[in-house]
Structure 1
Amino acid sequence: METEDAERGAKPQRRHSKAGLRLRNYFLTGIVVAAPIGITFYLTWAFVAWVDGWVKPLIPHAYNPDNYLPFSVPGFGLIVAIFLLTMLGFLTANLVGRTIVAYGELLLDRMPLVRNLYRALKQIFETALSQSSRSFQQVGLIEYPRRGLWALVFIATDTKGEIADRLKESDTDTMAVFLPTTPNPTSGFLLIVPRQDVILLDMTVEEGAKLVISAGLVAPEYQRKTKALAREAKEAADDEREAAE
């Protein structure tokens, strides 16, 4: 009798534990679904509000719709900022605009501290926004910080300038790579490494950044990509065979 009573008491307990585990899984699934959407919406809204806070006070009173409507128009300052930046780029592209920019840069070159800051920021933005730039187009692996340990790097460019000239004396073909830190890939180390020591990967820079940010938890689906590439290669071979026939 005691054994039967113990079994009857254990069954409800197991049911409660299973129900609790199921509720816990539902809760975690809800977080996985809601958190990315909520964070994305919050960051987007915060950015729009930040731009509006800077631009709207500069808009003339007659052109600000907030002065005519009973509610504030979110994003109007962002639209005005995009329009003004586009117009600035348009005006800078012609002869008059280039002359004004050249004159402004001439004035900045005469300021000891400001000119260094301006040159550095200009070079960074030109490199990051240049359509012809091929910076960070590939992902690779290098052995770092010692042999046997591998680190993910973003391929920057071939070694140039004085560094390339100095290293040519040792007959070493090198390239510049960026070694990001986890979980913040915007900080890291610039490394000059021999080309033969870099293993190039098929993953995109975005996939590599996700891998770094997640500390290795979010890995790209390489098998699916390999099958897709094999299927495309097979289809291309079939097309060539049919064209030859």
Structure 2
Amino acid sequence: MLKRYFITGLLIWVPLAITLWVLNLVVGTMDQTLTLLPLEWHPRTFFGRDIPGMGVILTLLVLLLTGILATNFIGQRLVRWWDGLLKRIPVVNSIYSSVKQVSDTLFSSGGQAFRKAVLIRYPHDQVWTIAFVTGNPAQDCAQHFSEEHISVYVPTTPNPTSGFFLMVPKSQIVELSMSVDEALKYIVSMGVVVPQVRQ
């Protein structure tokens, strides 16, 4: 009986503790953006002490202003100039180009990456796993296939940031009605958090 109470307590406190720890880490990291401001503009100057979360507000404002500026004509030219400058620096070029390509694919509103959860047979044809559609295979790869293939990402459990990139025949892919968020929760929870059936 004591063991049952202990496990119940763990199930309540562990998710809460991890959530608070992650939030504290994120807010603490974002608060570091305040170091970019002159000392006269720091919250400590106005209020006599540091205020947690002010960096979050500053970060969101910077992101919003950057987005607004980058959508007009002058801003687009500045972004192109900045991209060109970074691509001319030897070591920075390879890192920046790779990260930019991935972020453009994932966060672009027109992109198809991670927009759909599917079922595929992996690692052998007697087992099914959830994967996310990332697009179509490169032409150099596709020309070697006898039928249409789809590029998918198979995340690992419980850490979905690592996984496998596969090119699977479209005929062997089963589309799911669950959203990407629901599928991720299902994967991270190791199948414990089952998505609700949609009518």
TM-score of the two chains, using structure 2 as the length reference? 0.88
Q: CA offset at residue 100 of structure 1? A: 2.1
Q: Is the 8 A contact 2:117 2:183 kept in 1?
A: yes
Q: How does 1:28-177 map to 2 (within 5 A)?
A: 28-52=7-31, 54-164=32-142, 166-167=143-144, 170=146, 172-177=147-152
Alignment deviations for residues 81-108 of structure 1 (CA, whole Å, 9 cap, x no partner): 2112221222222222222222222223
CA distance in 1, matches of 2:84, 2:195: 48
Task: Provide the rounded CA distance (Å) in 2 between the counterparts of 1:99 and 1:154.
Answer: 34
- Divergent runs of 4+, >6 A: none
For the residues of structure 2 that align with 1:65 and 1:32, how far apart are their CA atoms? Answer: 38
Which ranges in structure 1 are unaligned for 5 or more consecutive residues?
1-20, 230-245
The 3 A distance-change label for structure 1 pair 113 and 199 is: same
Q: Greater Rg, structure 1 or structure 2?
A: 1
**Whole-angstrom CA distance in 1 between matches of 2:137 and 2:55:** 42
Further displaced range: 113-122 or 174-183: 113-122
Structure 2 gaps of 5+ residues are none
| In structure 1, distance between residues paired with 2:69 and 2:126 | 55
- Tell me the amino acid that sits aligned with residue 73 of structure 2: L
Q: Tell me the matched-pair count.
A: 199
> Greater shift after overlay, 24-33 or 42-51?
24-33
Structure 1 residues 72 and 108: alpha-carbon distance in aligned structure 2, compared to 1, 3 A threshold? closer
CA contact under 8 A between 2:106 and 2:114: conserved in structure 1?
no
- Name the TM-score, length of structure 1 as normaliser: 0.73
Task: Provide the rounded CA distance (Å) in 1 between the counterparts of 2:110 and 2:12.
Answer: 37
Quick one: distance in 1 between partners of 2:102 and 2:175? 25
% of aligned pairs identical? 33
Structure 1 position 47, deviation (Å) = 0.8
Per-residue CA distance 1:94-139 (angstroms, 9 max, x = gap) = 2222222222222233233322222111111112211222322222
Greater relative contact order, per chain length (Cα 8 Å cut-off, separation 6+) = 2
For 1:182, the aligned partner's letter is T
Measure how far apart 1:207 and its partner are. 2.2
Q: Aligned-pair RMSD on alpha carbons?
A: 2.0
Is the Cα–Cα contact under 8 Å of residues 112 and 133 in structure 2 kept in the other structure?
no
More helix by share: 1
* C-alpha displacement of 1:160: 4.5
